[in-house]
């Protein structure tokens, strides 16, 4: 599945309860983050829910970054699944070129997430961009 597929699928649902349920379903299908990776160093600051995010560098050329993550919130797991569609498997340069805010607007997340969830989502994006920048050096 791609982010374009997600956008297209979102348009099939008439209301936000269905869209949230779809996001939570996507989150439930993510690969598990090993318990050993649920450490403070992998914790995303700025999220109300507990969120852990771990990158894995795939040697190249070109080098690509995969992300595993987990949360104690089902909706946040869905948001993580969406972010994995946006960022996982891309080069650091591709990650830094992604316009996440535009995607959030296309999905309507900019209007339908609570302020605390929006802050958490932006914190996850910031962490992913920081990891991409650090691995680019």
Active centre residues (catalytic): 47
Q: Which residues contact 40 (CB under 8 A, 6 or more apart)?
A: none
Decide: 123 and 46 in contact? Cβ < 8 Å.
yes
Dist CA 63 CA 82 (whole Å): 22
In the chain, where does DSSP find H-type helix?
3-12, 16-28, 74-87, 92-97, 100-107, 109-112, 115-135
Taking the C-alpha atoms of residue 22 and residue 28, their distance in angstroms, rounded to an integer, is 10
CB atoms closer than 10 angstroms to residue 30: 16
Encoded tokens for 7: 């956008």
């Amino acid at each position: 599945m791609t982010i374009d597929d997600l956008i297209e699928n979102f348009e099939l649902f008439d209301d936000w309860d269905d869209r949230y349920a779809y996001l939570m379903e996507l989150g439930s299908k993510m690969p598990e983050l090993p318990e050993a990776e649920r450490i403070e160093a992998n914790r995303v600051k700025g999220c109300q829910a507990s969120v852990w995010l771990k990158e894995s560098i795939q040697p190249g050329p070109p080098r690509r970054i995969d992300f595993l993550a987990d949360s104690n919130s089902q909706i946040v797991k869905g948001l993580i699944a969406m972010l994995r569609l946006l960022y996982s498997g891309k080069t650091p340069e591709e990650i830094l070129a992604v316009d996440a805010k535009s995607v959030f607007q296309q999905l309507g997340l900019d209007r339908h997430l609570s302020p605390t969830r929006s802050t958490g989502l932006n914190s996850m994006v910031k962490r992913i961009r920081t990891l991409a920048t650090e691995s680019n050096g």
